[in-house]
Amino acid sequence: MDDEIAPDPRLFAFLYGMAGLVLLAWGGLVFYFYNMRKFALIPFVKVMACVAGLLAVQSFAQPRDLFAEFEAEEQAAEAAKADSIKAAEAEKKTAEEKAAAEKAEADRIAAEKAAAEKAEADRIAAEKKAAEEKAAAEKKKAEEEKQAAARKAAEEKARAEEAKRQEEAAKAQAKKDAERDAYERATMKPEDYEKLQAQRAEQARQDSIGQANAQNAAEAKRQAMEQARLQAAMDSAARADAAAAAAENKNADFNEEYARAIQAYADSARVREDLEAIARDSAAVAQMIADSIAAARADSIKAAEALAAANSSSSVSVIPSSSSMSRRDLLGPVKVSKVNGIDEMKGKYRSPRKAMFMSLVIPGSGQLYIGGSSFTNVRGGVYLALEAALWTGWYYFSVYKYDDQVSKYKKFAKNHYSIGRYESKMRDLYNQDAVNYESEFRARYLGSRESFCEGIFGKATMHGCYDKSSLYHNDVEYMNDFVKNPKSLGEEQKKIPFDNSAEVYQLLADRAMVLGWDDVSDEALATGLGLEDPSSSTVDLGTSSNMKKYRSMRGKATDYADMQAWFFGGLILNHIISAVDAAFTANAYNKTLYQEDLSWYDHLHFDSGVQFFDGFGVNVQASWGF
């Protein structure tokens, strides 16, 4: 209402004034003509004058009323405008308050999200730090264990060397003591010698006690240092584990986690000490077993030497070994058969397996490998020529001629068939009477509809081409593609490239697709299809000589494609026959290498006999041997 333009009041005054002038002019003309005819028109003139006067008065009164109305409307418009401005300001204020509330909510959510992200980042950082500390502690522990193992190995090695040195020194001292003892025994009195030996034994006992005490003190010191090192490692690892547990679980107490970790490491240390003790005991037992075995071996050696010395004077009979006996004594007489050697003048040995494999891969190659005669080489050439002829025939008929025939029938269909024509005529049949028998119509004439639409678009339901629930439903886009402006199949395929053209060209040979050919005749009517009776036979929708020609062209292409079965069958048979022939030929060729040349009479064999029963008779028989 605020944007409408109010009409000008002067326009109404002008219209009323013009109407009054027209009436006055019309009244004057009427008066003139009637006056000329001598009519008494005074009453009529008076009436007309009154009407004209009223119009003139009204022409002056109307603008005043209109101005009053326009002023009232303008005041109402201003009031409405003021109200709308207030409402707009209120809406603006409400929108600003809502925006402020949304901004505050967004700030709150962002702050909470930032706090949550920061807390998560702090937690991840704490976990990462705890993991790093734990990894560092484990690494440090591993290094310390490695160093401890190295120290232990060095100490054991040092102890072994020291034990060896002490053993050697003890042996040397024992030897020296033995020499000294022998000297003293020879030079001293018995009572003095015994007294001296007692003093030396007491001194040796005191020395061994002192040495044992020193070793025990050193071992105790070493164990104390090792225990302190292990305790420090356990404390460091326990602190790292406690920190990691506290980082993972905020409610966990660090002191409790530390005590739990210390207890776990202590248990593991006790288990390790038990295992080491078991290992030491096992080593001691193994050493004892080894010493007993060595002692038993030494005793057996001494016993064997004593037995040998005792029997050295007795005589021992010698039994001949198997190596001193001849093969004749062991195996007896051996019968050797005579085998003729290969006559190198006739040729070299040919492997039947190799010949068979060569002919199985390339027919005729095995025969050429054997050679030996012209007949064998000719057979090899025949197999090779037959292989080449079969491959050439396969390519010519099943590839070249087939592709050429496919191109011909596709070109023929592109020039004489139209999907738009087919769809238009099928829709006419459907709308005539088939709409009442949709399911029967679809079953008889549109059974391959889904495959046809998939061949065109790839997906049957695209552009509304196929609908499983109803026929020709919501297919405006499909009608725009084909039905509204029917063209030849070649132009339609240029407009919409088929997803699977082979499927489409195959379905064009179906008799239900006959209405798309350009020479279709004897077209059936919907009422003559017999759709009301499901048991009736299917009626052809029409006849087309181009369709028959197209089907014939496709049949010829199919014949070319089917010929490859014969070619491949011949190829397989040629490979098998050539391989078998090569094996037999190689076997026969090798037999000739082991035989001697004989004259013709050497092959003749004569048999004769005399018969006395049932009459006297003589029988003579000749045969040819190979």
**Distance from first CA to last CA of the chain, Å, rounded?**
131
Report the chain (626 residues): mean pLDDT per 10 consecutive residues: 45 55 60 49 57 55 52 73 83 87 88 86 83 82 81 82 81 79 76 78 78 77 76 72 68 68 68 62 60 59 53 42 44 43 60 92 92 90 94 93 92 91 85 78 85 88 84 81 83 87 89 88 83 84 91 92 91 93 90 60 58 64 62
Beta strands in 95-195 (DSSP E): none
pTM of the model: 0.41
Measure the CA–CA gap between 519 and 19, rounded to whole angstroms.
Answer: 76
Q: Provide the pLDDT for residue 400.
A: 93
* Identity at 520, one-letter amino acid code: V
Measure the CA–CA gap between 480 and 474, rounded to whole angstroms.
Answer: 12
**Would you tell me how many other CB atoms lie within 10 Å of the CB of residue 547?**
24
* Identity at 118, one-letter amino acid code: K
Measure the CA–CA gap between 289 and 29, rounded to whole angstroms.
Answer: 164
Measure the CA–CA gap between 529 and 531, rounded to whole angstroms.
Answer: 6
Q: Provide the pLDDT for residue 388.
A: 95
